Amino acid sequence: MQFGRTTLSKFVIEHTRAQHAELGALLIDVAAAVKTISAMVAKGALGGNLGALDSTNVQGEVQKKLDVLTNEAILRHCEWGGQLAGMVSEEMEEAYRLPEQYPRGRYLLVFDPLDGSSNSDVNMSVGSIFSILQRSTAGDAEPADYLQPGDRQLAAGYAIYGPSTMLVLTLGDGTHGFTLDRESGNFILTHPGVRVPDETREFAINTSNERFWEPPVQRYVAECKAGRSGVRGADFNMRWIASLVAEVHRILIRGGIFLYPRDFRDPAKPGRLRLLYEANPMAMLIEQAGGAASTGRGRLLDVVPQELHQRVPVILGSKHEVERVERYHREYDEGSDQPFVSPLFSDRSLFREPG
C-alpha cells in the first residue's frame, strides 16, 4: 500500500459521519465479509468448496457450496454490530431475524452473496451484490420494511472476484471503485467518480432466449447485429458472461448496455433478475455513474416491490442506448413502431401491424 491513498474505511467514515455515522460501520463490516469471500473464492478447488449441493434456493435454483458459505459469511460479519434491523438474501426464503443477543439498529441489508456462482466451477469472475435501506425506528424488521423502491437506497455496491478483488460503492454521491491491496488488507480507492459513456457500440444479452423476447428487444438486437450495413450504421460487439456483476463492471469501466428483458419463457416470471438485491443496487450504481437503468417501460428505481424475491426486467448501461430501447418499447405499445423484417422469416413481421 502507498501511504496517503484513500482507504475504504476512511472514505465511508468521511462520507457518512454527518448524517449516517452507523452506516459507515455497517459498510466496513460488509467489506470484511467481502475479504472473507474473496479468500474463499480464490482457493478454488484447493478449498474443497466447488460443486453443487442437493438443495435449491427460494427461486428453485440448485445451490452451489459457495452460495451457502458466502451467505453465511455475510450474515456472521454483519449481524452483531448493532446497525441492522434485519437482512434479506437470495439464498433465504424469509427475511433473516438477528440473533437475540445482538442489538438492533435501523438499517436493512439485502444481498446476493455470490452472483454468477455457476461460473465458480470454471474459474470465471463472480461477485457479491448488496443494498442498504433504512426503517424509521430501531428494532426487528418486518417483511414490509424491505419493500421500498430503489430510489430510497442509502448505499449500494458490489464486489467482483477476478484477477483482483474490487468493491464498487455508491453512497448517492457518485460511483467509486476500491481495489483490495492483499499486502495490507485494505481496500484502496483506485477508481474515483466512475462515469459511464453516453454512447456505446457494445451490448450484452443472452441470445439463446431470443425466441421468447418481446418485439422491441428483437428489433434492438437485430439492428445491432446488422452492424454497419443496417439502420444503425455502425458495428457492435456482443458480450455475455452470465454474471451480472461482471457485466455491470465492464459497463462501468468502458461503457455498454446490458439487457435481461422481459420474456415469455415462463409467464409467471415477467423478469429474471431480483429487484431488491440485484436490479436496484446495480441501477443505483449505474445512475450515479451517469448511465440509465430501466425495465424497458420505466425507470428501474421507481418500481415499488411487492415481495422480497420479486423479479423484474433489467436494461441498464450507456444512457443513449437505454433510452433507445425504452423508445422501442413505447412505439411498440403505441402501435407506431416500424415493422422489422427478419431474414430468418422472409417477409413475416416480428411486430404487430399498426392499427
Give me 239's grid cell. Answer: 458480450
pLDDT reported for residue 253: 94
- Domain 202-345 CATH (choose: 3.40.950.10, 3.40.190.80, 3.40.50.11540, 3.30.2020.10): 3.40.190.80
pLDDT reported for residue 355: 39
| Burial 216-233, CB ≥16 within 10 A → b, else e | bbbbbbbbbebeeeeebe
Grid cell 418499447 in the structure block, residue: 329
pLDDT reported for residue 123: 83
Crossing angle, helix 244-254 and helix 280-288, to 10 degrees? 10
pLDDT reported for residue 2: 54
Query: Which architecture characterizes domain 8-191 according to CATH?
Result: 2-Layer Sandwich (3.30)
Give me 346's grid cell. Answer: 422472409
pLDDT reported for residue 160: 98
Which residues of the chain does CATH 3.40.190.80 include? 202-345
pLDDT reported for residue 354: 43
pLDDT reported for residue 337: 81
Among residues 327, 317, 342, which one has the least CA distance to residue 202?
317
pLDDT reported for residue 62: 64
Which residues of the chain does CATH 3.30.540.10 include? 8-191
Query: pLDDT of the chain along its 355 residues, tens only?
Result: 456 699 999 999 999 987 788 999 999 999 999 999 999 999 888 887 776 765 666 666 667 889 999 999 999 999 999 999 999 999 999 999 999 999 999 999 999 999 988 887 888 899 999 999 999 888 999 999 999 999 999 999 999 999 999 999 999 999 999 999 999 999 999 999 999 999 999 999 999 999 999 999 999 999 999 999 999 999 999 999 989 999 999 999 999 999 999 998 887 777 999 999 999 999 999 999 999 999 999 999 999 999 999 999 999 999 999 999 999 999 999 998 865 554 444 334 444 444 3
pLDDT reported for residue 348: 40
pLDDT reported for residue 208: 94
Segment (H or E) for 221: helix 215-226
Segment (H or E) for 273: strand 273-274
Give me 145's grid cell. Answer: 420494511
